[in-house]
Amino acid sequence: MSLPVFLGPVADAAVGDRVRVEGDEARHAVVVRRTRVGEHLVLTDGEGTAVTGEVVEAQKNALVVEVLEVRHEERPGPHVTVVQAVPKGDRAELAVEVLTEVGVDRVVPWAAARCVGVWRGERAEKSLAKWRATAREAAKQSRRSWLPEVRRLATTADVVALLERADLGVVLHEAATTAFAALPVDGLGRDGSVVVVVGPEGGLTDEEVAAFAAVAGTHVVTVGRSVLRTSTAGVVAVAALLARTPRWA
């Protein structure tokens, strides 16, 4: 079984150093996960550096780990962004969780025209914080050294801009006539970038589809015959894409 992963200040750590973790992360390790002195675990800075170490102090609000091994992991490629139309209720956290587990690099909440969930004012800040916390915990659970970025709420114009900067744009649409399998993925290398757009429960509007389809390099496709929920469509599409790239080679 792999070692548990926690976040810690390890960017400049070396073998033999003692790294101190405090606050919520320490409480999670010691109080929730019941981590004890003598146990081994992994600390990561979320930006590619991870250390394996032995716990030498375990207090309620502080954890001290002696570094036994240091490794630096390059950011995997191609870079994958998922634009996720804001789902209703708990499905939002489910979407962020599974996208993080499959390896997405960036998640962008999108205020699509037909979104049932609406982010405004204080609710927007709380929802964004929840998405970021969900991504952080899912990254640790899936033993990632790179944490995904969760952007602020995007407009449709923002999504168009993201697609314009991508090497490959993918818009999931149940009424599309192009099959997902026809996507030109094979030439996408480690330095490439992909943006996948997932619509809301109510579906994409004709105006949204037209705006996205007008971007060079963007493909509007359907994933099989089944209509997937907005909270699961993204992870299905990303997994199918990554299986055809160096990322999963």
- CATH number for the 5-72 domain, one of 3.40.50.720, 3.30.110.40, 3.30.470.20, 2.40.240.20? 2.40.240.20
Element (H, E) at 81: strand 79-85
Per-residue pLDDT band for 227 (boundaries 50, 70, 90) equals confident
Q: What is the mean pLDDT of residues 203-210?
A: 96
**Predicted pLDDT of residue 2:** 87
List the structure tokens of 19. Answer: 């790294």
Which whole-number Å values give the CA distances from 82 to 41, 148, 170, 205, 222, in the listed order? 30, 11, 9, 19, 16
**Predicted pLDDT of residue 74:** 93
List the structure tokens of 210. Answer: 């037209």
**Predicted pLDDT of residue 80:** 97
Contacts of 126 (CB under 8 A, 6+ apart): none
Residue 134 has phi, psi (to 5 degrees) of -65, -45
What confidence tens digit (pLDDT) does each residue in 107-145 have? Answer: 999 999 999 878 888 888 999 999 999 999 999 999 999
Other beta carbons within 10 angstroms of residue 21's beta carbon come to: 25
- Of 163, 172, 139, 156, whose CA–CA distance to 215 is shortest? 163
**d(Cα 222, Cα 240) in Å, to the nearest integer?**
12
Q: What is the mean pLDDT of residues 194-208?
A: 96
Domain ranges for the chain, please list them: 5-72, 79-248
- CATH number for the 79-248 domain, one of 3.40.50.970, 3.90.1560.10, 2.60.120.380, 3.40.1280.10? 3.40.1280.10
**d(Cα 90, Cα 100) in Å, to the nearest integer?**
16
- Residue whose token pair is 């290398």: 189
Task: Tell me what the pLDDT averaged over the chain comes to.
Answer: 94
**d(Cα 246, Cα 192) in Å, to the nearest integer?**
10
Q: What is the mean pLDDT of residues 96-101?
A: 96
Give the global pTM.
Answer: 0.92
